[in-house]
Structure formats: C-alpha cells, structure tokens
Structure 1
Amino acid sequence: MYHALLLLVQKLSYEVEEQIFSEVSLAIQKPESYFEMFKDRLDERGIDSPIDELAWISLVDSLLDHGLAFEIDWKESGLYICDVVDELLDRKNMACVSWEDFEDGEFDELPTSLCLNKISGKLKEQAISLASLDIESDCYVLITVPSSDTDEMKALAKEAGYSIQDSF
C-alpha cells in the first residue's frame, strides 16, 4: 500500500520530490509527528487528529503547497478553471493551450464537471491529462500529467487505497 503511494510521489512531485517524499514518509511512519507539524494545515480540512488517510492528505497538501495541484470548489466557472490549468501547466513547463474556443460566454455557464470534461478534452490534444485526486470532498484537487502516465498513476493510487480520476 505505502510502496504504491511512494511511487506515486515520484510520479507527481516534479522538481520537489525530496520535500514531498519527506512529508508523506513522515505521515506514514510517524503520523502523530506529522499531525503536530502540520496541525494548522490539517485544521483547515477539519482534521483534528491523525486519520487513516493522513498519508494521502499529506501528498495532496504537499502538491498544493508546491503548486503541482490546485483545489477548486465544485461550482467554479469555466474560465477560472482554464486559468488554474494554465498555472498547473506552467509550473511543470508543459505546453500552453489556447482557450479561445471557450471564451464565448456559454462555457462559463456550464456545470463545473462539464467544464472539466471540455478542458480535459482540449488538453488531450496536447497529450496531457487533467485529473483529480479524490479526497472525498465537494472539491476537485486538479493535477496535470502526461497522458502516457495517467493509467499508471490511477493504478498506483488504487493500489494505495485511493483514487485519481481523469473523467468528471
């Protein structure tokens, strides 16, 4: 279980693998110490003691802190999500995408899940996948990854007992 999670750290952590690996390892090996060190961060999630999912939450929060993931509400507008995706792509030096097709105004009126599917389709043209780390919340923790890595990352997450989704 933890082996798969640590392999996922390698896949997702881009240029900050050591820092993210350190946080996730601490959450695995010494959950009490991790909890004390990141109490404020966990309090924002309503976590007031170490939980079984602490290692997964530590991965998510570390990716967020390093700009490798972005958490959005379930009811965000389309063009805002495009801006978020631009930031994620830029952070990993991935190809830029033109959102010109989405600027007609109707895109912003779509439900978030439909916007995410349209954005995901656009990214696939560039061999990039938009995915979400499932934290069993009413939000999306978005990541961008090479499409060639998506199936492996989903399998590693599943083996670790968690979920990465690339359809919304």
Structure 2
Amino acid sequence: MNAMLLLVQKLSCDAEEQIFSEVSLAIEKPETYFEKFKDRLDERGIDSPIDQLAWISLVDALLDHDLAFELDWKETGLYICDVVDELLDRKKMVSMNWEEFEDGEFDELPTSQYLNEVSKKLREKGISLACLDIESDCYVLITVPSSDIDEIKKLAQEAGCRIQDSF
C-alpha cells in the first residue's frame, strides 16, 4: 500500500472507508475525482487535476469528517482552544482545561506561537497537534497520539507532502 493510503489509515478514525474511497479515486482516476469534487476544489482555486490532488483529497475528506480543522493564519485566542477541543472530542481523546489561556497572557501572541503553546499543553497529555501543509496561508490542524506523530510525518514525507508538529 502506498504512503498516502497508509496515511488515510492513520488519520481517518471512524471514517476510513469513505476517506479511503475519495483518496483512492484521486490517485487512480484524477479526472473523475476532479469532476466529482469540482466545487470543493474550486474553493481552493484548483481548476484542473494537479500533482497534489491525492493530498488535497485527504485534507478535504478529513475536514468533511471533522477530523481536521482549517484555521486562518491570523486567528488567536481561545477560539483556537475551542477548535482543538472539537478535534479532541471528535476522536474521543482526553479533554483539556485551558484555564491558563483565559487570563490574557497568550492573547497577543501571533497564531504560530499560540499554536506552539497549545501544542506544549497537549504533549503533556500524550497528544500531538499537527498541521497538514497545503502551501496556503492557513493551518489545517489535526490531533494525533504523540506516539504516532513521527510515523505520520514520515509517511507524509514519503507521499511527497508535509505534516509538521511545530508551528
């Protein structure tokens, strides 16, 4: 099985069958995938099948199943904590107490630094916050067990993509 499909297994939780189907279609029949998901791809400014179509199909499928969240590059504050809570809840991972983020100390941080602070807190619970790099000015966030992050990053690299766990 190729690295992209192994990533599907690692990231798709209880939606593996649907996500596997979409990513496989993007790999095997890019024109058919493009036609089927033309509206979704148009929102990304993609007007024809591209080399990274399988990667984009994985990202979009994870977003559709609430297993990833696309966050604007200039988003800050407790909204980020709310997003992370939704991702954790969706995967039935531990819930977090964001009390120290409520006092305003972190409010002025740029998004990347805020995400690093959130990431540090999650690591204490054995969870990695990671970003699926789609070469855009946004962050496509996922949460995964810390024990899986190195393998997931390696699979992404083998698939010609990038997942990072530092911002």
Band of TM-score, shorter chain: over 0.9
**SS in structure 1 opposite 2:13?**
coil
Shift of 1:109: 1.4
Match of 1:11 in 2: 10
Does structure 1 residue 40 correspond to structure 2 residue 32? no
Moved beyond 2 Å, runs of 4+? none
Q: Secondary structure at the match of 1:19?
A: helix
Structure 2 residue aligned with 1:56: 55
Post-superposition Cα deviations, 1:80-125, rounded to whole Å, max 9, x if no partner, equal 1100000000000000010000001232211000100000000001
* Alpha-carbon distance between aligned partners in 2 of 1:97 and 1:28, rounded to the nearest angstrom: 37
| Unaligned 5+ runs, structure 2 | none
Verify the 8 A CA contact 1:79 1:107 in the aligned structure 2. Answer: no
Aligned AA (2:127): I
Shift of 1:59: 0.0
Once the two structures are TM-superposed, the CA of residue 78 in structure 1 deviates from its matched residue by 2.2
Query: How far off its partner does 1:37 sit?
Result: 0.4
CA distance in 1, matches of 2:26, 2:105: 43
Distance 1:78 1:130 in 2: 16
Distance in 1 (CA, whole Å) between partners of 2:48 and 2:38 is 9
1:108 and 1:24 mapped to 2: Cα distance? 38
Pairwise CA distance, 1:36: 0.4
Using the aligned pairs only, state the percent identity: 79
Specify the SS of the correspondent of 1:47. coil
CA RMSD of aligned residues (A): 0.7
Instruction: Summarize deviations over 1:127-163 as a string: whole Å, max 9, x none.
Output: 0000000000010000000000000000000000000
Does 2:84 correspond to 1:85? yes
Q: CA deviation at 1:22?
A: 0.1
Distance (whole Å) between structure 2 residues aligned to residue 87 and residue 129 of structure 1: 14
> Which structure 1 residue ranges, 5 or more long, are not aligned?
none
Alpha-carbon distance in 2 for matches of 1:26, 1:3: 14
Q: Mapping of 1:23-38 within 5 angstroms?
A: 23-38=22-37
Q: Please report the TM-score for the alignment, with normalisation by the length of structure 2.
A: 0.99
**Aligned counterpart, 1:130:** 129
Q: Distance in 2 between matches of 1:9 and 1:108?
A: 34
What letter matches 1:152 in structure 2? E
How many residues are aligned here? 167
What secondary structure is seen at the aligned counterpart in 2 of 1:107? coil
Question: CA-to-partner distance for each residue in 1:34-67, whole Å, 9 max, x for gaps?
Answer: 0000000000000000000000000000000000
CA distance in 2, matches of 1:64, 1:20: 10
Alignment TM-score, normalising by the size of structure 1: 0.98
Q: Does 1:158 align with 2:144?
A: no
